[in-house]
Amino acid sequence: MRELLLSVVLLSVGAGLLSAKVTPLGAKPEWAELDGFQETITKGKFVELLDRVYAPNGGWKEWIADRRRHGAHLASARGQALRVALCDFRSQAGAAFLEGKAELPPPTKGKPLAGLRIAIDPGHIGGKWAKMEERWFQIGKGKPVTEGDMTLRVAKLLEDRLKKLGAEVRLTRTGGSPLTKMRPEMLLAEARRSLAESNRKATAFTLQKESEKLFYRTAEIRSRAWLVNSVIKPDLVVCLHFNAEGWGDPARPSLIDKSHLHFLVTGAWSRDELEYEDQRFEMLQKLLSRSLEEEAPVSEALARSLAAATKLPPFIYHGNNAVRVGEGDYVWGRNLLANRLFNCPVVYAEPYVMNSRQDYARIQAGDYKGTRIFAGVPRKSIYREYADAMAEGIVAYYAGR
Ligand SMILES: [Zn+2]
């Protein structure tokens, strides 16, 4: 269906008090930064992406309106309003704008990832911060299970594999220390504001918890995003996590029988999240930069290789905070600070359940070469299985270029 040659989308309709709201430690966005996306997307594709991936609950309709104007090339941002002209076909400008594996040099023999720059983000901080960030539990005299240290171990194994395959690789952290210079005690005023905004009472306990969360989550992730966007400037960010189910008391955690696997791309902004001006900007930046065109197929390739290596079933979301992306059940869209802030394609891995009986036993076994028997089956160490399968998935996608 042919669409009008130039439609105009007006963003941030209803500028006022609500639109001035930004998330904790966030800044008012520079809307002019989106000007480079003029005429790079059709109206049909724009609305389809909003409805299917980015704001499937319809929250975008309160903020984004489209107006038809003939021959308008509107590239200016006035106040909080931005106008993006939409074209009716993928114009030359739009085609040239789209990046991805097509732009990489052809793979060389033995180096299928030559020319590819990858940033690996080992989720969380670990080390002495693991208890504060609630990524720590211990059973009796067993090894403490700390997600931030486990993701770092996988990151280093994966870095080694990807470099051998020809990729240029940078980690967002190489030890158990935060990248941010902020610390909880420096964030008390911001914590008080954050509590007030969500109608929670400020007590000594809630202020401490909130300032800690602003440190290990918000400030830390913002620092990593700055490093990735301003320094590393990769073709792809790979966020590594281990999943878990609620374990209750970290000193007496409960073990469960199920384990699962899924991958996340950025999507599923809620109505409440879209009330924040910086979140609206970040959603549009993600959408207009078309990072989904890279991150969805990479995630699918990774899901195939991880599912084959781990034999894990998909994790299925039932709430409104996630949306199914793609054909199968392994790839979902979710809006996380840890994926939306990176200005490039991002894949976000959530394999294993740390407090499942099967995975807990493998975590206790630590890292080792070769295989050991678990439940009658020879298995690589959980870290090597994860890193090997990630490397295979990345090669499966990029070596096909
Ligand atoms: Zn995690």
The pLDDT tens digits of the residues spanning 33-51 come to: 888 887 788 878 888 999 9
Distances (CA, A) of 53 to 1, 157, 275, 303, 311: 22, 32, 18, 18, 27
> Across the chain, what does the average pLDDT equal?
88
> Ligand 1 mean position to 312 CA, how many Å?
18
> Ligand 1 mean position to 257 CA, how many Å?
20
The pLDDT tens digits of the residues spanning 278-310 come to: 998 899 999 999 999 999 999 999 999 999 999
So what's the pLDDT on residue 45?
A: 87
> Ligand 1 mean position to 194 CA, how many Å?
23
Q: What crossing angle do the helices spanning 382-398 and 292-310 adopt, rounded to 10°?
A: 140
Dist CA 282 CA 343 (whole Å): 9
> Ligand 1 mean position to 189 CA, how many Å?
27
* Residue 333: φ, ψ to 5°: -100, 130
Burial of 57 (0-12, 13-18, 19+ CB in 10 A): middle
> Ligand 1 mean position to 123 CA, how many Å?
5
- By mean pLDDT, which of 82-96, 172-186, 196-210 is the weakest? 82-96
So what's the pLDDT on residue 83?
A: 63
> Ligand 1 mean position to 213 CA, how many Å?
14
> Ligand 1 mean position to 150 CA, how many Å?
10
Q: Kindly indicate the confidence band of residue 327, based on its pLDDT and cuts at 50, 70 and 90.
A: confident
> Ligand 1 mean position to 399 CA, how many Å?
28
> Ligand 1 mean position to 371 CA, how many Å?
26
Q: H/E/C letters for each residue in the chain?
A: CCCCCCEEEEECCCCCCHHHCCCCCCCCCCHHHHHHHCCCCCHHHHHHHHHHHHCCCCHHHHCCEEEECCCCCCCCEECCEEEEEECCCCCHHHHHHCCCHHHCCCCECCECCCCCEEEEEECCCCHHHCCCCCCEECCCCCCCEEHHHHHHHHHHHHHHHHHHCCCEEEECCCCCCCCCCCCHHHHHHHHHHHHHHCCCCCCHHHHHHHHHHHHHHHHHHHHHHHHHHHHHCCCEEEEECCECCCCCCCCCCCCECCCCEEEEEECCCCCCHHHCHHHHHHHHHHHHCCCHHHHHHHHHHHHHHHHHHHCCCECCCCCCCEEECCCCCCEEEECCHHHHCCCCCEEEEEECECCEHHHHHHHHHCCCCCCEEECCEEECCHHHHHHHHHHHHHHHHHCCC
Dist CA 224 CA 201 (whole Å): 30
Q: In what order do the strands lie in the sheet with 117-122?
A: 168-171, 117-122, 236-240, 346-351, 261-266, 331-334, 322-324
> Ligand 1 mean position to 347 CA, how many Å?
13
The pLDDT tens digits of the residues spanning 187-244 come to: 999 999 999 998 999 999 999 999 999 999 999 999 999 999 999 999 999 999 999 9
Reference 289, options 1, 105, 13, 49; nearest CA is: 49
Q: Is the pLDDT of residue 85 over 80?
A: no
Domain annotation for the chain: domains and CATH numbers: 7-97 (no CATH), 101-398 (3.40.630.40)
Dist CA 82 CA 32 (whole Å): 7
CB 178 within 8 A of CB 216: yes
The pLDDT tens digits of the residues spanning 140-159 come to: 999 999 999 999 999 999 99
> Ligand 1 mean position to 78 CA, how many Å?
39
Q: Is the pLDDT of residue 68 over 50?
A: yes
Please, which residues have CB less than 5 A from ligand 1, an ion? 123, 241
Q: CA angle at residue 154 from 123 to 311, to 5 degrees?
A: 100
Q: CA angle at residue 23 from 21 to 25, to 5 degrees?
A: 120
Q: Encoding tokens for residue 158? A: 């994966």
The pLDDT tens digits of the residues spanning 328-375 come to: 999 999 999 999 999 999 999 999 999 999 999 999 999 999 999 999
> Ligand 1 mean position to 159 CA, how many Å?
19
Distances (CA, A) of 259 to 265, 321, 346, 352: 21, 21, 24, 6
So what's the pLDDT on residue 13?
A: 42
Q: Is the pLDDT of residue 65 over 90?
A: no
Q: Is the pLDDT of residue 86 over 90?
A: no
Q: Encoding tokens for residue 319? A: 């709430």
Q: Kindly indicate the confidence band of residue 399, based on its pLDDT and cuts at 50, 70 and 90.
A: confident
> Ligand 1 mean position to 147 CA, how many Å?
7
- By mean pLDDT, which of 10-14, 277-281, 375-379 is the weakest? 10-14
So what's the pLDDT on residue 67?
A: 62
Higher pLDDT, 20 or 371: 371
Q: Which residues contact 255 (CB under 8 A, 6 or more apart)?
A: 139, 355, 356, 357, 360
Q: What crossing angle do the helices spanning 147-164 and 382-398 adopt, rounded to 10°?
A: 40
> Ligand 1 mean position to 348 CA, how many Å?
10
